[in-house]
């Protein structure tokens, strides 16, 4: 028996949801969340899975107030003209074509959420999975961290598992559940305990490193996280390498039988599939925004400022996260100018950076190091009418959409990156036959590396040489790289990413 | 056809040799090198393989002068009564039972050696293989590092490959070559080019991490290092985990066919074995030294000072290397005292530390952090007649031999460690049914972990709990653990370690 998607509605879980609420004079205002993943999921669900329930964290005080008002029931949000709450009943008889989403916002106590988010998930799991600890002194697992794990991570996972299970119950258990990311590694097993026959998948959006990195988590955490994930039917990553690393962990830490040909692992008499589905971008929406008048105005300004008289533009777009490797990128650009003085005055590096996690000391230090590095390099290579590096520390979506159109080289040299959607957005929107320069350790390199110049994240000299190669590439080769990269993105947009996964789940349900 | 060892003399290569020379009034004085490996190899070769040639670096100015004097020929050193040069001819007709070694000391230019040793091998390879970089800012591979690799590491490997090949030539190529450690990854392939039929093995004494760690070396280094090792017939490590990681690297970076059942990899129409032989200690010599009057005197002093009135002693013995994780060990001890105030005044932590690589900033900072941590903890828990942590920063072999005999708990909580011979020395010599507390990430944990309390290197609370478990263990269980650990060391002493490898090589030669 094969099930179409509509037979199996979906319960989706992610930490951030598609909208947050704010208090306003007239009551509540809903605001669309930013971020590629959330936007893409929003568009897809509204279009294809209108009955889906999206379980997410109540982020703001207003979210909590709204969540309490609905008292554990889902609420419905219409997305146009601006997001607003609607009644389920009214909607059914009203404008059914108005795109809408069903949300279940979960309230988490402030102390629990701090332990969950600011002690366990974001510093510890994020740093371990991106390889950002040097280990000599940090981290230490003390009573504080162990308590945060139990009272924060485990407790919050239980809370969200309850909410997911409750929503599955509303569908009499005949729904897929799709769980997302490193916040909820324990949810799969907890839901499985309540619904042994449910089809469950978990997508991990950040790198899954090899067992040696996971060995740096206490066994009491590590083995529970992996066991939690094994509650799912499908565990999915962006790349084959991350999927293989997961199998190695299951084998090494839990002594489970794994098969790297079929990419499966056996656990509790179930066969779990370990898959890779490289995520992509929402092409339709990106192109629509990129063609707006606001963006066109930005394009004119950027062109005039950075591309006059045959000048070229190197672009980077990132959060100021140490994993993004921004400082080494500037060092590479400085070495490019040192090795090729003829490029001084002819190539500008525009870095559009968004401050990230400034409550974490390592992140504050990193942003300070970025600005110091830029100042030093600009002092050395500045000319009367030329500043080598332009640092825009701001978050302006229209500016980004414009910058993507006008780069000659887009550099993304992350130390580690689950995918890196900047590279895909840039490849899609660029209009100058711009070349991608991509770190070989990012997920996106598996798909687009063959149409890009490859970077080694630590090798500053190699990065400088690669930038030179990209800047001096023949127009024919540039065009061929640029078009091939854009075509690769078009072949696998976000709708295909989700449809492939749902097809995989439907096939599993059919086997059941 | 099977060959006995005497049919196949051995050419051995390691960076440090068994003796170094010093200028003295009467000419040259030879001094025995310290270090477990070198001592053990020395004893074994002198006893069983008197024709072997040991190729090593001329470390001191006097070494260089002696090397020049011999002009590329091997020299012969008698080991008793004190090490001294002897003539080959004189020896043949003289006291043939006098233990002796044949050395080929290789002179390396100072600049080359600095690039080889202080830019590439010790910071970069050691840090990568022990997981000591946090990567946010360090390391960077700049022109300097790339030059150091070519002019230092590659050049020095060529120089030593020439010397090894020349010595093999003296045996008409009918010898085994055993290469040692991370200084000489390229030598195997270079020797193979000259002697395609030679039996070559390379032993790596430090951890071999998983591909994700090696990906942090530029491909131009990484792939050459791995290819260099694949010139050998056997590549050997201390543990199965390191051996498996090597196979994963060969598969992932060079796309070679590997087999984790037979632990082999195919390269250039040869099948290379990837083995693990856990190294051990020289039992005969250790027990002889441990029973000397000097050591007995140290035992009396330590006993009186730390074990009076039923007090217990926690011991650690280490170089002040960040990989040894000394600071977290002190934090764990402080947590033990905080959690169990009854132990204040009853348990002393004696740390005998040897300063290490004080020319490297990270190592200087680490020693400073160690002393600051000790001061802080002692200030907090000191009593009129009790200092919680005793820090001996010194290098006194007799003191070590004594301390091993009197510990109640020996802690070795390294972040990463190829083997950790301190644990084996302690298990062998202890006379108080002392318990080992061993980090699960050290090679020695594969052999002795089942007779020890296990430590997680980052989990300070778990280490404190494990120390408490060890200190309060019942006498019967203590005795059983202690005896089992000592027995395990006795079953696999250094002679077995070498004999197993030579047997393996002889079997290969027999197949040829």
How many A×B Cβ pairs under 8 Å? 116
**For the purposes of burial, counting CB atoms within 10 Å of the CB of A54, is it exposed (0-12), middle (13-18) or buried (19 or more)?**
buried
Which chain B residue has its CA at the smallest distance from A440's CA? Answer: B215
Highest average pLDDT, of B64-73, B300-309, B497-506, comes from B300-309
Instruction: Please indicate, yes or no, whether residues B301 and B250 belong to a single structural domain of this protein.
Output: no
**Per-residue pLDDT averaged across B248-269, rounded?**
96
Closest chain A residue to B321, measured at CA = A136
Q: How confident is the model at residue B134 (pLDDT cuts 50, 70, 90)?
A: confident
Q: Is the pLDDT of residue B246 over 60?
A: yes
- Comparing CB atoms, the residue among A134, A141, A212 nearest residue B133 is A134
Whether residues B263 and B307 fall in one domain: no
* B250 — pLDDT class (breaks 50, 70, 90): very high
Average pLDDT over residues B427-434: 98
The pair of structure tokens assigned to A390 is: 């332009």
* A96: its two tokens: 């059914």
A7-18 average pLDDT score: 89
Domain boundaries, position B393? 283-491
- Paired tokens of B424: 């084996």
Q: Express as a percent the part of chain A with pLDDT over 90.
A: 79
Nearest chain B alpha carbon to A339: B143
Task: Write out pLDDT tens, residues A260-316.
Answer: 999 999 999 999 999 999 999 989 889 999 999 999 999 999 999 999 999 999 999
Tell me the per-residue pLDDT of A390-422, one tens digit each, with 9 for 90 and over. 999 988 999 999 999 999 999 999 999 999 999
Q: Are residues A298 and A325 in the same domain?
A: yes
Helix (H) or strand (E) holding B100: strand B100-106
Does residue B3 form part of some domain?
no
- pLDDT for position B3: 37
Residue A90 and residue A159 in one domain: no
Contacts of A216 in chain B (CB under 8 A): 131, 457-458
* Residue of A131, A139, A460 with shortest CB distance to B135: A131
Q: Is residue B30 within 8 Å of B89, Cβ to Cβ? A: no
d(C-alpha A12, C-alpha A171), whole Å: 13
Work out the angle at residue A260's Cα, subtended by the Cα atoms of residues B254 and B441, and round it to the nearest 5 degrees: 75
Do residues B169 and B175 make contact, with C-beta atoms less than 8 angstroms apart? Answer: no
- Select the more confidently predicted residue: A4 or A40: A40
**Does the structure show a pLDDT above 50 at B496?**
yes
Q: How far apart are CA B326 and CA B321, in angstroms?
A: 8
For B46-84, the pLDDT digits (tens) are 888 888 999 999 999 999 999 999 988 999 998 887 888
- What pLDDT band is residue B2 in, cutting at 50, 70 and 90? very low
Task: Decide which of A49, A73, A106 is a domain's last residue.
Answer: A106
Burial class (CB in 10 A: 0-12, 13-18, 19+), A388: buried
Q: Does A3 map to a domain?
A: no
Taking the CB of residue B290, how many other CB atoms lie within 10 A of it?
Answer: 20
Say if B333 falls within a structural domain.
yes
Indicate the number of domains in chain A.
3
* CA A426 to centroid of chain Cα atoms: 16
Instruction: Decide if pLDDT at B263 tops 90.
Output: yes
Task: Please name the member of B134, B241, B252 whose beta carbon is closest to the beta carbon of A134.
Answer: B134
pLDDT in tens, A16-64: 999 999 988 877 888 888 776 787 788 888 888 888 999 999 999 999 9
The Cβ of residue A265 has, within 10 Å, a number of other Cβ atoms equal to: 25
B335 lies within 8 A of chain A by CB: yes
Q: How far is B274 from chain A (nearest CA, A)?
A: 19
Distance CA A274, CA A256 (A): 14
The answer to whether the CB atoms of B141 and A415 lie below 8 A apart is: no
Segment B171-221, tens digit of pLDDT: 888 889 999 999 999 999 999 999 999 999 999 999 999 999 999 999 999
How do residues B322-371 score in pLDDT, each as one tens digit? 999 999 999 999 999 999 999 999 999 999 999 988 888 889 999 999 99
| Mean pLDDT taken over chain B | 92
Domain check: are B199 and B215 in the same one?
Answer: yes
**Residues A200 and A287 reside in one and the same domain:** no
Beta bridge partners of A275: A236
Looking at residue A28, its pLDDT comes to: 82
Predicted local confidence at residue A93, as pLDDT: 45
Take residue A153 and report the two structure tokens written for it. 């991570």
Residue B318 falls within a domain, yes or no? Answer: yes
The pLDDT value recorded for residue B97 is 63
Strand partners, A101: A77
The answer to whether residue A360 scores a pLDDT higher than 70 is: yes
In a domain, B198, yes or no: yes
Residue A511 has pLDDT above 70, yes or no: no
pLDDT beyond 80 at B93: no
pLDDT of residue A44: 81
Q: What is the mean pLDDT of residues B433-438?
A: 98
What is the predicted pLDDT for the residue at A132?
86
B147 pLDDT higher than 80: yes
Residues A425-433, mean pLDDT to the nearest whole number = 97
Residue showing tokens 């450690």:
B181
Residue % of chain B over a pLDDT of 90: 79
Query: Quick check: B85 pLDDT over 90?
Result: no
Residue A95 pLDDT grade (very low, low, confident, very high; cuts 50, 70, 90): low
Q: Is B328 within 8 Å of chain A by CB?
A: yes
**B266: helix, coil or strand?**
strand
Are B478 and B506 in the same domain?
no
Shared-domain flag, residues A233 and A115? yes
Chain A residues lying within 8 Å of B136, measured CB to CB: 132, 322, 362, 366, 415
A80-89, A111-120, B136-145, B442-451: which range is least confident on average?
A80-89
- Give me the interface pTM, i.e. the ipTM: 0.89
Q: Which of A79, A106, A133 is the last residue of a domain?
A: A106
Omega cis (within 30) before B418: no
In terms of domains, do A243 and A298 share one?
A: no
Q: Flag whether residue B218 sits within 8 Å of chain A, measured between CB atoms.
A: yes
Chain B interface test: which of A137, A144, A338 (most B C-beta within 10 Å): A137
Q: How confident is the model at residue B133 (pLDDT cuts 50, 70, 90)?
A: confident
CATH number of the domain to which B473 belongs: 3.40.50.2000
Structure tokens at B175: 């010898």
User: Which stretch of A134-143, A270-279, A481-490 has the lowest confidence by average pLDDT?
Assistant: A134-143
Q: What residues 101-120 of chain A have any CB closer than 8 A to a CB of chain B?
A: none
Residue A5 lies in a domain: no
Domain check: are B119 and B82 in the same one?
A: no
Residue of A125, A129, A212 to mutate, interface with B, max B Cβ within 10 Å: A212
In a domain, B2, yes or no: no
Q: What pLDDT is attached to residue B6? A: 47
Looking at the structure, tell me whether residues B220 and B177 fall in a common domain: yes
What mean pLDDT is predicted for residues A458-483?
A: 97
Domain annotation covers residue B5:
no
pLDDT at residue A235, as a whole number: 98
Among the partner-chain residues B211, B216, B322, the one whose CB lies closest to the CB of A458 is B216
Contact B462 A245 (CB under 8 A): no
The answer to whether residues B195 and B227 belong to one domain is: yes
């Amino acid at each position: 028996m094969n099930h179409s998607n509509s037979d199996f509605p979906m319960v989706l879980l992610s930490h951030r949801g598609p909208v947050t609420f704010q208090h306003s004079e007239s009551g509540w205002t809903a605001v669309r969340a930013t971020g590629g993943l959330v936007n893409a999921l929003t568009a897809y669900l509204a279009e294809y899975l209108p009955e889906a329930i999206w379980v997410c964290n109540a982020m703001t005080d207003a979210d909590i107030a709204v969540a309490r008002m609905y008292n554990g029931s889902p609420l419905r949000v219409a997305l146009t003209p601006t997001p607003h709450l609607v009644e389920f009943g009214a909607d059914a008889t009203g404008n059914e074509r108005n795109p809408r989403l069903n949300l279940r916002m979960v309230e988490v106590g402030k102390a629990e959420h701090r332990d969950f988010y600011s002690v366990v998930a974001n510093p510890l799991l994020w740093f371990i999975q991106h390889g950002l600890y040097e280990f000599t002194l940090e981290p230490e697992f003390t009573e504080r961290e162990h308590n945060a794990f139990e009272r924060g991570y485990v407790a919050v996972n239980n809370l969200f598992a309850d909410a997911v299970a409750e929503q599955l119950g509303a569908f009499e258990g005949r729904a897929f559940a799709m769980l997302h990311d490193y916040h909820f590694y324990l949810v799969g097993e907890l839901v499985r305990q309540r619904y042994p026959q449910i089809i469950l998948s978990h997508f991990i959006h950040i790198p899954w490193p090899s067992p040696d990195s996971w060995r740096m988590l206490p066994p009491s955490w590590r083995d529970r996280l992996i066991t939690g994930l094994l509650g799912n039917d499908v565990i999915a990553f962006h790349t084959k390498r991350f999927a293989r690393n997961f199998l190695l962990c299951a084998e090494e830490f839990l002594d489970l039988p794994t098969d790297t040909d079929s990419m499966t692992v056996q656990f509790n008499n179930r066969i779990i599939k370990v898959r890779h589905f490289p995520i992509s971008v929402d092409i339709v929406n990106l192109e629509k925004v990129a063609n707006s008048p606001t963006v066109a105005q930005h394009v004119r300004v950027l062109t005039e400022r950075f591309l006059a008289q045959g000048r070229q533009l190197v672009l980077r777009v990132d959060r100021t996260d140490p994993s993004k490797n921004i400082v080494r990128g500037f060092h590479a650009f400085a070495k490019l100018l040192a090795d090729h003085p003829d490029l001084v005055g002819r190539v500008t590096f525009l870095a559009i950076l968004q401050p990230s996690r400034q409550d974490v000391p390592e992140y504050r230090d990193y942003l300070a190091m970025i600005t110091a590095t830029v100042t030093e390099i600009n002092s050395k290579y500045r000319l009367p009418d030329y500043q080598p590096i332009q640092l825009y520390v701001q978050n302006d979506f229209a500016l980004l959409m414009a910058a993507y159109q006008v780069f000659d080289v887009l550099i993304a040299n992350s130390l580690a990156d689950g995918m890196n959607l900047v590279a895909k957005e840039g490849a899609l929107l660029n209009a100058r036959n711009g070349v991608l320069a991509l770190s070989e350790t990012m997920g996106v390199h598996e798909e687009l590396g063959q149409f890009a110049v490859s970077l080694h994240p630590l090798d500053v000299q190699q990065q400088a040489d690669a930038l030179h190669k990209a800047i001096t590439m023949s127009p024919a080769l540039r065009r061929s790289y640029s078009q091939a990269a854009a075509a690769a993105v078009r072949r696998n947009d976000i709708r295909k990413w989700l449809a492939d996964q749902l097809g995989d789940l439907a096939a599993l349900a059919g086997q059941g």
